[in-house]
Amino acid sequence: MSIGTYAPALNHRHGRVRGMLLLVMLLALGATSGCAGLGSPPPTPAVIVVTAVPPSPVVVVVTATPQPAKPTTAAADVPPTAVVAGKPSATGTPAVASRPTTASKPAAASPTTAPAPQTLKVGRTNSYRGLLFTVEEARSGEKIEGQTADRGKTLVGLRLRVQNPSGQLVHFANSPLTGLLRLRLPDGSNPKAEDEDPFIRPMLKPEESVSGWLYFQLDRPVPLEPLALALGGAQETVVTIPFTGAEPVVAKRAFEYLRTTEVVRGLYWSVSGGELRLDLPGQQANPGQEFILVKIRATNPTAAPVALRGRGSIPQEGTDYLRIRADNGVLLQVSAELSPLPTEFPGKAEQDTLYAWQLPLGSKNPKLVILSPDGSEHELGLGPLPPP
């Protein structure tokens, strides 16, 4: 074969070889690619979802309208509300169900209400230190006649009238009257009166009276009916004016008779009677005691003047020589000279007087004693006295 004839044949052979080589290379490349993906799932669009890191599908389901999907077995026994309340959201914000509702908020404290006002007509009287105390009216509330209670307190006001029926001036100079007046409550407590005029240190002339409002502050409201006004200090016999119930009675007992001594110190001494009571003008008897007021008349039977003098010609007053002998024999000094005796008596003159002594309550047979300048004693029986 000539070279010209061989050349086309050779080119044809080389083309076949190149085609076979290309086929082998393609097969090898396909086999290599197939081996690389062997055993691993084919890539899916889910890879895009994973790499994009979208919000948690669970959170989306919880916060959105629930789907009608059937709950899982683990959540079937738990109420849906409890599941939501127990799972915080992805952003850390508490679930809606865990927030307190309006009903769970504590109720605001209501403001303190003012005590309801009360009024009670009383109109009752008792005697203390020789004065007549009358409680005309009682009121209670937050405000009474311009007086306002302190915060959280209740005010009780008494319209009080005080009268001096005696002929003696009565003045509370040493201790305020308001310190001797207390409101007696059902539980036994006794709050003191407020220091308000005209009852701090009143001064009452004979037959004079004073009126005003007496105030007490209480921790809580109380009914007025069981209350009482108590009058008296620690060393005095206390008297009361109850607002209801039994009427208070002025504790006094009178006795009358006429008894006369022989002439003593140039005079006749007579007793026409007297009174037993717990008080005198400006004084109150000690606990367990009472006053005896004795009406005494001294008479000069001669036309010559008589001077009542002691040793050394010193003029003597009734408080110097008049005594009461108690049932136990003790001589008692004069407590009050309500109508004093003069130190001199003109001829045929007589003088009526009134003296008082404090003696044990329930005494029966005390005696009036007149002391002579020489120390001798002259007695005049006063008993038997009326019992308490």
Pairwise CA distance, residues 304 & 311, whole Å: 21
Evaluate if residue 253 carries a pLDDT over 70. Answer: yes
pLDDT-derived band at 96 (thresholds 50, 70, 90) equals very low
Concatenate the DSSP letters of all residues of 145-207 into one string: TTEEPPTT-EEEEEEEEEE--SSS-EE--SS-GGGGEEEEPTTS--PBPP--TTSSS-EE-TT
- In contact, 154 and 141? CB cutoff 8 Å: yes
Structure confidence at residue 81 (pLDDT): 41
Give residue-wise pLDDT tens across range 258-274.
999 999 999 999 999 99
- The C-alpha atoms of residue 341 and residue 168 are separated, in whole angstroms, by 16
Query: Backbone dihedral region of 265: left (phi > 0), alpha (psi from -120 to 50 degrees) or beta?
Result: left
Is 50 exceeded by the pLDDT of residue 203?
Answer: yes
| pLDDT (average), residues 362-376 | 94
pLDDT interval class at 18 (50, 70, 90): low
Predicted TM-score (pTM) of the model is 0.69
Q: How many CB atoms lie within 10 A of CB 139?
A: 19
Answer for the pair 191, 185: CB distance below 8 angstroms, yes or no.
yes
Average pLDDT over residues 167-175: 92
What residue ranges define each of the domains in the chain, with the CATH number in brackets? Answer: 118-242 (2.60.40.1240), 252-381 (2.60.40.1240)
- pLDDT score of 23: 55
Distance, in Å, from the CA atom of 131 to the CA atom of 335, rounded to the nearest integer, reads 17
Q: Which helix (H) or strand (E) holds 8?
A: helix 3-36
For residue 296, the cross-strand partners are 271, 353
* Count of H-run helices and E-run strands, the chain: 6, 24
**Averaged pLDDT for residues 270-290:** 96
* Mean pLDDT score across all residues of the chain: 80
**Among 10-14, 296-300, 352-356, where is mean pLDDT lowest?**
10-14
From CA 294, how far away is CA 67, in angstroms rounded? 110
Give the pLDDT mean for 225-240. 96
Q: What is the pLDDT of residue 1?
A: 45
> Is it the case that residue 181 has pLDDT exceeding 60?
yes
Q: Would you call 324 helix, strand, or coil by DSSP?
A: strand
DSSP state of 72: P
Residue 291 binned pLDDT confidence (cut-offs 50, 70, 90)? very high
Q: How far apart are CA 43 and CA 316, in angstroms?
A: 140
